[in-house]
Chains A and B, each alone.
Chain A
Amino acid sequence: MGRKGRRMPEGSSSVYANVLQQFRKGDLDAFETLFREHQRPVYGWILRIVRNAAAAEDLTVETFWRIHRAHERFQPELPFGPWARRIATRVALDWLRAQRPEVELTAEMTRALPSASVGDPGIAAEIRRKTALAFARLPPSLRAAAVLAVVEEQPHREIAAALGITVAAVKLRVFRAMRLLRKDLEKQGITP
């Protein structure tokens, strides 16, 4: 199996439409083309949710495996990216649910990620650690919504599409996540 698949910009071109049609029929070259095109955004999306680079790679593979298995259900008239993102979100949430938050996540959450900025030295490392720990204790569905909305500042509409819920439900999840986070921090002696 070679590398016949090529990257191409997702657009309304007939070539891209043909790739989507071929993918639906199970063509491996078309699948590789879509993989090359969407690997980076899918990986980045998963990384934002799970905040663990090694796990994000494994989950990207899992996502594309599920995408390949579901190729017959793909509707070529709809864009591939949001569909892939929905599957990636489900994969990431499954992974979060399988983790023990206190042990597994906090160290990875705060280091060894390609972060856009380093933490403010004005905020003590201990407070950051406790915040990350409290965040890791939140239910996965709330965590995903909160990290995407508050930390990654993704549009609510995109988060809603990826989670398969309404924009109002996203806002509610973020609100609940922040309320639970505040309560947890207060229990730890931090008053935000």
Chain B
Amino acid sequence: MNHDDRINQLLRQALPPVEANAESERDLWPVVLRRLDEDAAAARRATPQSVPWFDWALLGGLVVFAVSFPATIPVFLYYL
């Protein structure tokens, strides 16, 4: 037996081969699903809530109105 064969044998004895049909003892699908759900929830949290276009239009209209008629600003503030 040459050196290579000897060291290969030593390694096989130290680390016995894994069975050909080795299988996880539990069903991992629920764990995968939970991981995907957590991932999706984290993505939702990370995404800033979008402002509807109507709100931006309303704000723009108010700004234009206030610039055009500055005297109305105290009236607006009074009613806020």
Where the two chains meet, the residues of A that have a C-beta atom closer than 8 Å to any C-beta of B are 1, 3, 32, 35-36, 39-40, 43-44, 47-48, 51, 53, 56-57, 60-61, 64-65, 68-69, 109-110, 113-120, 123, 127-129, 131-132, 135, 146-147, 150-153, 178, 181-182, 185, 190, 192
Q: Considering the chains assembled together, what is the distance between the CA atoms of A57 and B16 in angstroms?
A: 19
What 5 A-B pairs come out closest when comparing CB atoms?
A131-B14, A115-B16, A114-B19, A192-B7, A128-B14
Q: Considering the chains assembled together, what is the distance between the CA atoms of A119 and B10 in angstroms?
A: 10
Instruction: Check if A181 sits within 8 Å of B7, measured CB to CB.
Output: yes
Q: Does B18 contact A (CB under 8 A)?
A: yes
Instruction: Check if B23 sits within 8 Å of A131, measured CB to CB.
Output: no
Instruction: Check if B17 sits within 8 Å of A56, measured CB to CB.
Output: no
How many A-B residue pairs lie within 8 Å, measured between CB atoms?
Answer: 122
Q: Considering the chains assembled together, what is the distance between the CA atoms of A61 and B17 in angstroms?
A: 23
Instruction: Check if A150 sits within 8 Å of B8, measured CB to CB.
Output: yes
Q: Considering the chains assembled together, what is the distance between the CA atoms of A111 and B15 in angstroms?
A: 9
* Besides A110-B16, A113-B22, 14 other A-B contacts (C-beta < 8 A): A35-B28, A35-B32, A44-B22, A47-B22, A110-B14, A110-B15, A116-B16, A116-B17, A123-B13, A127-B10, A128-B14, A151-B17, A190-B10, A192-B3
Instruction: Check if A185 sits within 8 Å of B10, measured CB to CB.
Output: yes
- Interface magnitude class on chain B: 20 to 34
**Which chain A positions have C-beta within 8 A of B4?**
178
Where the two chains meet, the residues of B that have a C-beta atom closer than 8 Å to any C-beta of A are 3-4, 6-8, 10-26, 28-29, 31-33, 35-36, 39
Instruction: Check if A150 sits within 8 Å of B12, measured CB to CB.
Output: yes
Given contacts A60-B24, A61-B28, A61-B35, contact A51 B15 (CB under 8 A): yes
Partner of B10, one of A47, A115, A131: A131
Given contacts A115-B17, A117-B16, contact A65 B3 (CB under 8 A): no
Instruction: Check if A115 sits within 8 Å of B19, measured CB to CB.
Output: yes
Q: Considering the chains assembled together, what is the distance between the CA atoms of A170 and B47 in angstroms?
A: 44
Given contacts A57-B28, A109-B15, A114-B18, contact A178 B36 (CB under 8 A): no
**Distance from A58 Cβ to chain B, minimum over Cβ atoms (Å):** 9
Find the B residue at minimum CB distance from A32. Answer: B29
